[in-house]
Amino acid sequence: MSEGRLSRRLARILSLLPYAIQNPGVTLDELAGRFDISKKELRADLDLVFMCGLPGYTPADLIEVDYEGDHVYIRAGDYFGTPLNLTPVEGLTLYAGASALTNLPELSQADALARALAKLGRALGISNEGSAIQVSVDSGSSEHLQLLQDAIADEKRVAIEYMSASRGELTERDVDPWSLIAALGHWYVVGLDHSSGEERMFRTDRMKSVVKLDEPAPLPTDFDPEKYRGAFIGSETGRRVVFEIAPPVADWFMDYYPVVSSQPAPGGWTRVELAIGGARWAATLLMKLGDQVRQVEPEEMRNAARELAQEIVERHREAAGTS
CATH classification of the domain holding 59: 1.10.10.10
Q: Please give the single-letter amino acid code of residue 6.
A: L
Over the stretch 10-52, which tens digit does the pLDDT of each residue have?
778 877 888 888 888 899 999 888 888 888 888 888 888 776 7
Q: What is the pTM of this model?
A: 0.41
Return the bridge partners of 152, or none. Answer: none
Q: Is 114 a member of any domain?
A: yes
Sign of CA dihedral 305, 306, 310, 311: negative
**Statement to judge: residues 77 and 95 lie in one domain:** no
**The CATH number of the domain where 268 resides is what?**
3.30.70
**Statement to judge: residues 15 and 68 lie in one domain:** yes
Of 216, 247, 282, which one is at a domain's C-terminal end? 216
Q: Is the pLDDT of residue 288 over 90?
A: no
Q: Is the pLDDT of residue 238 over 60?
A: no
Q: Is the pLDDT of residue 147 over 80?
A: yes
Q: Is 12 a member of any domain?
A: yes
Q: Is 133 a member of any domain?
A: no
Task: Between 175 and 56, name the one with better pLDDT.
Answer: 175
Q: Is 136 a member of any domain?
A: no
Note down the domain range covering 77: 3-81
CA distances from 183 to 38, 99, 123, 203 (A): 32, 12, 24, 10
How far apart CA 315 and CA 318 sit, in angstroms, is 5
Helix axes 88-101, 111-124, angle to 10 degrees: 150
**Statement to judge: residues 108 and 181 lie in one domain:** no
**The CATH number of the domain where 164 resides is what?**
2.30.30.100
> What is the count of structural domains for the chain?
4
Residues with Cβ < 8 Å from 42, sequence gap 6 or more?
16, 28, 31, 32, 35
Q: Is 311 a member of any domain?
A: yes
Of 159, 185, 216, which one is at a domain's C-terminal end? 216
**Statement to judge: residues 21 and 60 lie in one domain:** yes
How far apart CA 72 and CA 23 sit, in angstroms, is 9
Q: Is 132 a member of any domain?
A: no
From the CB of residue 38, how many other CB atoms can be counted at a distance below 10 Å? Answer: 9
pLDDT value at residue 235: 45
As a dihedral over the C-alpha atoms of residue 175, residue 179, residue 182, residue 187, rounded to 10 degrees, the angle is 30
Over the stretch 67-98, which tens digit does the pLDDT of each residue have?
888 888 887 766 666 666 777 767 777 777 77
**Statement to judge: residues 8 and 49 lie in one domain:** yes
